[in-house]
Amino acid sequence: MSGGLTRRATLQLGLAGAATLGFPSIVRAQGGPINVGHLTPKTGFLGALGEWATLGIQMAAEEINQAGGVNGRQLNIMSEDSINPDTAATKAQRMLERDKADFLIGEISSASALAISQVAARNEKLFVAVGPRSDVLRGDNCSKYMFCTDIPNTVMVNAVGTALKRDGMVEGKKFMTLTADYVFGHDLLKAAKDFFDRNGAELVADELVATDLTDFSPLLIKIRQTNPDVVCLNLAGNQVTNFVKQYSEFGLPYPTVGFNLNTADAWAAGLGNLQGTWPTVWYHTLETPESKAFVEAFKAKYDKIPENHAWISYIALKIMAKSIGETGSAETPELIKYLESGAEFDILKARPAHFRAWDHQLIQEAYSFTVDPDAEDEYAMIKLGEAVPAADVDLETIYPDEKQNSCKL
């Protein structure tokens, strides 16, 4: 590491505005700004999450630029609403061709991420997929030019499944699933079915749910008719918020769990509506000095607590800043080589993260959380569980291995 600093000490300097994740803040000027094409949904059913992502990446860029940039070069963040896959692809091409973006970063929708990835591959430019979780993006549709920083569907299922098995809520139980009707949901359902099959649970019914559905009454009636032991939600964005509010009003007795949830949607559900066990990649109550420092800095800047998409967009840009600083280049071939090298990144968790060279997945800890029905506010209702896997277990154990994953870069 540069200057003899430890990885954690370097991060703390970065948070203070003195350095950026492991390299000197100013080395030498190397031309003009580094142009970063940032695409994320700011409207539609994922729009609220995209707004958090924008805040996170803007904060990271400001810290980096105020510290002198990356090797003396400022980061120029070009942030736009991806809207849908077609629009995302069009804007990605424009950013690369007209705006001369050095690399692309962002996205939450798995369908839009796939479209952006295809544009990046055609142009031979790096794309850091920040928020999409579909296993397919790391499998059949993986790409030499795409690196994924969020946890994939299989990891979310494993994180929640570990907690459910501990509580005796899997073996011999009848599950009914509700699944978002697009690539992410279909992929998550596949991971859920695999988990049920391996652990002696029965999937008695599944219902596909349109992403623009707002009235869940017909589905609530089907749930009552099916009479499952557990209702499992494979939904996305504000689908979750709308469903749990209506589920609570309907008064059904079946416990709910979920294999996907972003904390902004949990907060929006409100006290008394959300219940059960859910997965997350990060939460603001995480007890590490680095995470606490990030939360305090975010609160000081925006006067609110950061959501998980703010965190992951923040650390994704810091990862790229370190990579450019270490390689001395913003060119795609050099960055791919560095990201595939096994380099470690402090992402504010107890253990560092690294990308796997063969599928470009960021390997990191995950968590499950439960809901406290007696909490005083929506931020306190989420009780973060222990990191998965345990501290003495290899991080790889919760991720698909090369036999399970069809990625061919």
**CA dist., res. 262 & res. 49, Å (int):** 8
The CATH number given to whatever domain includes residue 370 is 3.40.50.2300
Are 131 and 160 members of one domain? no
The residue ranges of DSSP E strands in 167-242, in sequence order, are: 174-180, 202-209, 230-234
Say which residue the tokens 């629009």 belong to: 87
Are 303 and 342 members of one domain? yes
404 is a domain residue: no
Are 291 and 146 members of one domain? yes
Neighbours of 198 (CB within 10 A): 10
Number of structural domains in the chain: 2
Per-residue pLDDT of the chain (409 residues; tens, 9 = 90+): 333 334 343 444 344 333 334 433 333 345 799 999 999 999 999 999 999 999 999 999 999 999 999 999 999 999 999 999 999 999 999 999 999 999 999 999 999 999 999 999 999 999 999 999 999 999 999 999 999 999 999 999 999 998 899 899 999 999 999 999 999 999 999 999 999 999 999 999 999 999 999 999 999 999 999 999 999 999 998 999 999 999 999 999 999 999 999 999 999 988 889 999 999 999 999 999 999 999 999 999 999 999 999 999 999 999 999 999 999 999 999 999 999 999 999 999 999 999 999 999 999 999 999 999 889 999 999 999 999 999 999 999 999 999 989 999 9
Q: Is the dihedral of CA 228, 231, 232, 233 positive or negative?
A: positive
Q: CA 83, 85, 87: angle at the middle one, nearest 5?
A: 55
**CA dist., res. 145 & res. 160, Å (int):** 30
406 is a domain residue: no
Are 265 and 357 members of one domain? no
Are 257 and 394 members of one domain? yes
Are 145 and 158 members of one domain? no
Residue type, position 157, single letter: V
Cβ neighbours for 98, distance < 8 A, ≥ 6 positions apart: none
- Helix axis angle for 308-327 and 332-339, nearest 10°, is 110
24 is a domain residue: yes
Q: 308 and 279 in contact (C-beta within 8 Å)?
A: no
Are 372 and 244 members of one domain? yes
- Helix axis angle for 85-97 and 110-123, nearest 10°, is 30
- Helix axis angle for 7-15 and 289-302, nearest 10°, is 10
Are 165 and 21 members of one domain? no
**CB burial class (10 A; 0-12, 13-18, 19+) of residue 200?**
exposed
Question: Cis omega before residue 333 (within 30°)?
Answer: no
Q: Which domain, by its residues, includes 341?
A: 2-151+285-363
